[in-house]
Amino acid sequence: MPKITFLGHSAFYMEGSKGRIVIDPFLSGNPVAKMKPQDLKVNFVLLTHGHGDHLGDAIEISRTNQAPVIAPFELANYCASQGVTIHPMHIGGAHNFPFGRVKLTIAHHGSSTPDGTYTGNPCGFLVTMDGKIFYHPGDTGLFYDMKLIGEMNKIDVAVLPIGDNFTMGVDDAVKATEFLNPGMVIPMHYKTFDVIDVRPEEFVNKVKEKGFNGQILSVNSSYEF
Ligand code: NI
Ligand code: MN
């Protein structure tokens, strides 16, 4: 049974019977994170886009764990230029890794690194481990293709940004939940900064009113599915 652990903001650690990954490991300088990059033991690092609150400590974690970075082509090449091993992919493509399967989905957002390097299109991830599907959409606005993603994949757990301003806000994330029809939905990308200080309870209450399972994960707590 795979397990996800919320590391704060959009950072999730995920482990299954065949391996361990981290997605968007923004830990250093993250006001809500409790884990240090050196505490993470992973086989691969997945990045949705290059923004500092997602790229985070990816290079250091990748290097110290000898864990390749899985990311959209342009961002992967940026990581390679920083001296780490990569597995470039792109939107619509899937690949079977030792730990499980990864498919890249669209995300409506931008992607550049803190040093100003433009890193192409951002993405989301469908990660399948031990037969269970986890959807991490990265930073994105609401898009209608989420309905297609939900129709074509029996999503067991989805995490959705709810913080507004840079991504979907609460009501758009509720609509995204209706499109995706996940077994469980967990909010992310809120409260880290003043401008995204929204109430996750409001999101969870609204999805429950629509008949979905929603749950807030506190930092460093886990959900097994
Ligand atoms: Ni972003
Ligand atoms: Mn972000």
Give 113-133 pLDDT, tens digit per residue: 999 999 999 999 999 999 999
Sheet order of strands, 69-72 included: 86-89, 69-72, 44-46, 19-23, 11-16, 3-8, 222-224
**Residue 106's pLDDT band (cuts 50, 70, 90):** very high
What pLDDT is recorded for position 205? 98
CB neighbours (10 Å) of residue 17? 10
Contacts of 37 (CB under 8 A, 6+ apart): 25, 27, 28, 57, 60, 61, 64
Centre of ligand 2 to C-alpha 136, Å, is: 12
Q: Which residues surround ligand 1, an ion (CB under 5 A)?
A: 51, 139
Q: Using CA atoms in the order 171, 177, 183, 185, what is the torsion angle rounded to 10 degrees?
A: -40
What pLDDT is recorded for position 119? 98
Centre of ligand 2 to C-alpha 12, Å, is: 13
Centre of ligand 1 to C-alpha 196, Å, is: 12
- Tokens describing residue 223: 């959900």
Q: Which ligand is nearest to the CA of 164?
A: 2
pTM over 0.95: yes
**Residue 95's pLDDT band (cuts 50, 70, 90):** very high
What pLDDT is recorded for position 5? 98
pLDDT above 90 covers what percent of the chain? 100
pLDDT tens readout for residues 34-63: 999 999 999 999 999 999 999 999 999 999
Structural domains present in the chain = 3-224 (3.60.15.10)
pLDDT tens readout for residues 147-197: 999 999 999 999 999 999 999 999 999 999 999 999 999 999 999 999 999
